[in-house]
Chains A and B, each alone.
Chain A
């Protein structure tokens, strides 16, 4: 049973289009994240949500809009896609306690290609 699942796995789209990536976790965690991995494999945080509330927005263009309908889901909507948005996007989740967090569990990634 997959712990963190994201769909789709691959997404190829034209510049200017709008697309969404969905993420669900069945671990009961209270914190979820979106990370972007570039071609050099560097993972950079985009957003953190805790109990459905946005906690961190790492200067991501406002074309990117995350939405968390409940603690188990965190979706990412991207408007007006640009060539530079091409990357692998990872969803992750973790559990917090006393200002600490457990390790993050990652989904399998969504490879976005903008043409």
Chain B
């Protein structure tokens, strides 16, 4: 069965304290792995798409990497405005995205 698991469930960091979020997946024939950011009361906002193992994408303080079994979202020197829930999703079949339960990140000033 296709499945996505994210860890940790919640993470508190001091401003400037770098860390990584994990997304482990089991899917038959990965067609894409997606990272989203969700702020309270809003819809998920797209961050990155990764298609093949070894691929990396960067945007400001965020860097996403992909292996055959998992993806990491590295956050370098985070700021309080990076506080949000980060969601990972895989494309399972052409018309379906399966989401993980997310990591709630809190960055303290």
- A43-B44, A90-B43, A109-B42 known; A100-B96 Cβ under 8 A: no
Q: Which residues of B contact A31 (CB under 8 A)?
A: 95
Complex partner residue of A45 from B32, B43, B97, CB under 8 angstroms: B97
User: A20: shortest Cβ distance to chain B, in Å?
Assistant: 19
Nearest chain A CB to B41's CB is how many angstroms away? 8
Nearest neighbor of A42 in chain B, beta-carbon distance: B101
Smallest CB–CB gap between A2 and chain B, Å?
A: 11
A45 touching B96 in the complex, CB below 8 Å, given contacts A106-B44, A109-B43: yes
Among residues of B, the one whose C-beta sits closest to the C-beta of A45 is B96
Tell me whether A48 and B44 are in contact (CB under 8 A).
no
Given A42-B101, A106-B43, is A48 in contact with B34 using a C-beta cutoff of 8 Å? Answer: no
Nearest residue (CB) in A for B44 is A106
Chain A facing B: main interface SS: strand
Most central of A4, A103, A104 by chain B CB within 10 Å? A103
Report chain A residues within 8 Å CB of B49: 102-103
B31, B43, B46 pick with most chain A CB within 10 angstroms: B43
Contacts of A33 in B (CB 8 A): 95, 97
For the complex formed, measure the closest distance between the CB of A29 and the CB atoms of chain B, giving whole angstroms: 12
By the criterion CB–CB under 8 Å, are B91 and A101 in contact? yes
Inter-chain contact B99/A42, CB cutoff 8 Å: yes
Interface on B for A, CB 8 Å cutoff? 31-32, 34, 36, 38, 41-46, 49, 85, 87, 89, 91, 93-99, 101-102, 104
